[in-house]
Structure 1
Amino acid sequence: MLASMNDDDEVRTERRNVTPLPIFITSLVQQWLLEDAPSFDFSSSVVADRLATGILWQKSSGVVAGRPFFDAVFEALGCQVVWNRTIDGIGEVEGQFWTDADVSEAGGKRALATVRGPARRLLQGERTALNALSRCSGVATRARQFQLLCREHHWAGTIAGTRKTTPGFRLVEKYGMQLGGADMHRVDLSGMVMLKDNHLACIGLELNRPADDALVIREAVRRARACAGFSVKIEVECSSEASALAAIAAGADVIMLDNMDPSTFCRTAERLRQQTNGTQAHRYLIEASGGISLETAPAYMCAAADIISVSLSQGYGCVDFSLKISFTDP
């Protein structure tokens, strides 16, 4: 079933406009292709190098995500990709959710794009392109599931994907989060300062104080601000109400209440709001984090919470795609 045209389509279009710079995609794709064929490709060599056409099929439910990477693989191999317009004219396929339960599509699948080029090149790029598309779509689909939970529970906060990404594949997974409707959180270490328990523990050792001591937290935030400047936000991981209040007083922009059960989190977040209401405390955000799943997320969606961070790039299911190749008539 295709989503109807509404405000969500405008948001989807805006999110689709946020794509990695081509130079980074090209570099990434080159690494993938070299990994797959660092010397010879014996399998493709047995095929006549005639012009061929490949049809990209979506075979399972999910959000389509990863077109920039799919296209770049075949462009690097001298092939051309043409994407189909969606059913009922609802904009681009990229970012769109489709379910294989839609009986209007023959055989529970639908054609998304056509790839044309030399047969050997199509074969060389096939698996690499499908892997990227399948996994990116899986992350986007998981992000969409969390967004649907937010709507169901009338929670206006933000779902954010953590930095627990696959080494060498972060760009794809973060793009999938973005297209699925989640926030990418910090894309890399330069995106935001996050002072976690180990950072605080190290400074605590220097000062001979516990990691959650107010003086340690204040010193950590001070150092972070001195290093990163005014334009970079600072987040502090807190395990208690007292450490959270210390982080707020120190000027942290985001307070992460980590590894708290839902009731403790909501109670702590509400008390923080109450204790800083009407004071000179700056505006801060409260984030829930630590092992939150689709099943437990609704319990964290309280009025005092701004952000729920989850590991969108771990444990997701891949969306099934295939590329069926045939020779192009001369």
Structure 2
Amino acid sequence: MTSASTRDHFEHLLPPSWRTQVSAWLAEDTPSFDYGGFVVGEAPREAFLLGKGKQTAVLAGKPFFDEVFTQLGCEVEWHMEEGDTFEPVKHVATVRGKARHLLLGERVALNMLARCSGVATKSKQIKDQARGYGYKGIIAGTRKTTPGFRLVEKYGMLVGGIDAHRHDLSSMIMLKDNHIWSSGSITTAIKQARKVGGFSLLLEVEVGSEQEANEAIDAGADIIMLDNMEGDQLVDVAHRLRDKWYGKRKFLFESSGNITENNLQERAINEIDILSTSVVHQSVQHIDFSLKIQKPKDV
């Protein structure tokens, strides 16, 4: 467990606009009347947030959880730090507020926390697995995120200890096969991208062969994505390219495409600088949480 004094404060990364996303979640969940809230009223209540399920999990998403209940006039007392692992069943936090407000925020907050913690848990598992194989490079997610929920999923990757990769189309120039085919060649596409991207953006090019990789390196790409190459082919191509361009060009190799827990060992080779995979966020198992309002002691 990492101490609070040395822990990264990932919430400091969040843009000013993130709170409006929380408002939109609440508006989506209660677009008109709150019938259940009418039943329970506004008596002050205390609720326990419980981490459940059947697996060791990573807690992620505290700022979003806090904001849900802040907007509803409730207070959250955490009994764990962001990024801590826990075994179920764990009393993770206590939430205090008016009964109907606790229930207004319950499902929104739990859905977010379940997804974010699921991404963080899977991210940590994949990173630990790769390190166990002796891999020293970067493990990264991808941009194959849920529309409207990318901020939370990328945040979960960071809490889980991996690289979030580019956040959006504006974060880094990535030229894939469709860009190449549409512009005519790798060299042409890189020249056009450099003209508008300037010096401040890294430029990555997806290649499907050693010949294409050589062209991309020669044209000045910063990162070469060796797409869907595996095993001996991946190692051999990486070795030959590094030998050929040693002292002439600086670049990184990224391997992507169908990387899972089952084939991670053959892809986790130190000739590759970056392994990017969507397994840490697509179809990931959510972490089960519940929010249980406690009976008043005088009842």
TM-score bracket, normalised by the shorter chain, equals over 0.9
Q: Does 1:98 align with 2:83?
A: no
> 1 CA distance for matches of 2:83 and 2:192?
40
TM-score (norm 2): 0.94
Confirm or deny: 8 A CA contact 2:10 2:155 kept in the other structure.
no
Rounded Cα–Cα distance in structure 2 between residues aligned with 1:18 and 1:240: 41
SS at match of 2:294: strand
What SS class does the counterpart of residue 38 from structure 1 fall into? coil
- The reply to whether residue 191 of structure 1 matches residue 171 of structure 2 is yes
Instruction: For residue 131 of structure 1, report the CA deviation from its aligned partner.
Output: 0.5
Q: Which aligned pairs between 1:32-43 and structure 2 lie closer than 5 A?
A: 32-43=25-36
The Cα shift of 1:17 comes to: 5.6
The separation in 1 between residues aligned to 2:46 and 2:73, in whole angstroms, is 13
Does the 8 A contact of 2:11 with 2:63 survive in 1? Answer: no
Deviation of 1:156 (Å):
0.7
Q: Which stretch of structure 1 is more off in the superposition, 169-178 or 46-55?
A: 46-55
2:182 aligned to which of 202, 208, 218: 202
Spell out the pairing of 1:106-185 with structure 2 (5 A cutoff).
Answer: 109-185=89-165
Matched, 1:14 2:8: yes
8 Å Cα contact 1:15-1:178 kept in structure 2 = no
Whether the 8 Å contact between 2:141 and 2:157 is mirrored in structure 1 is yes
Q: 1:10 to 1:284 in 2, by over 3 A?
A: farther
- SS of the counterpart of 2:147? coil
Task: Pick one of 53, 65, 73 that aligns with 1:70.
Answer: 65
SS in structure 2 at match of 1:136: helix
Q: Does 1:56 align with 2:49?
A: yes
C-alpha offsets along residues 8-27 of structure 1, whole Å, 9 cap, x if unaligned?
A: x6998226365313x32211
The amino acid that maps onto 2:14 is P
User: Please, which runs of 5 or more residues in structure 1 have no aligned partner?
Assistant: 87-92, 101-108, 205-215
Residues 66-106 of structure 1: per-residue CA shift (max 9 Å, x gap): 0011111111111111112x4xxxxxx21011233xxxxxx
**1:176-325 matched pairs, under 5 angstroms:** 176-204=156-184, 216-278=185-247, 280-281=248-249, 283-311=250-278, 312-325=280-293
CA shift for structure 1 position 313:
1.5
Inter-CA distance 227–132: structure 2 relative to 1 (3 Å threshold): same
Residue aligned with 1:304, SS: coil
- The whole-number CA distance in structure 2 between the counterparts of 1:66 and 1:166 is 16
Determine the structure 2 residue equivalent to 1:45.
Answer: 38
Question: Which AA in structure 1 matches 2:145?
Answer: T
Distance 1:251-1:264 versus aligned 2 partners, 3 A rule: same
User: CA-atom RMSD, angstroms?
Assistant: 1.8
Structure 1-normalised TM-score? 0.85
What amino acid does structure 2 have at the position aligned with 1:94?
E
Shift in CA distance, 152/196, structure 1 to aligned 2, threshold 3 Å: same
User: For the residues of structure 1 that align with 2:178 and 2:296, how far apart are their CA atoms?
Assistant: 59
Structure 1 segments, 4+ long, off by >2 Å, are 9-12, 14-19, 326-330
The whole-number CA distance in structure 2 between the counterparts of 1:316 and 1:261 is 23
| Inter-CA distance 36–139: structure 2 relative to 1 (3 Å threshold) | same
Task: Provide the C-alpha distance between the structure 1 equivalents of 2:5 and 2:223, rounded to a whole number of angstroms.
Answer: 25
* Structure 1 residue 188: Cα displacement: 1.0
Matched, 1:26 2:19: yes
* Structure 2 SS opposite 1:14: coil
Letter in 1 for 2:48: I
Compute the displacement of 1:323 (Å): 0.5
SS in 1 for 2:178: helix
- State the secondary structure of the residue aligned to 2:17: helix
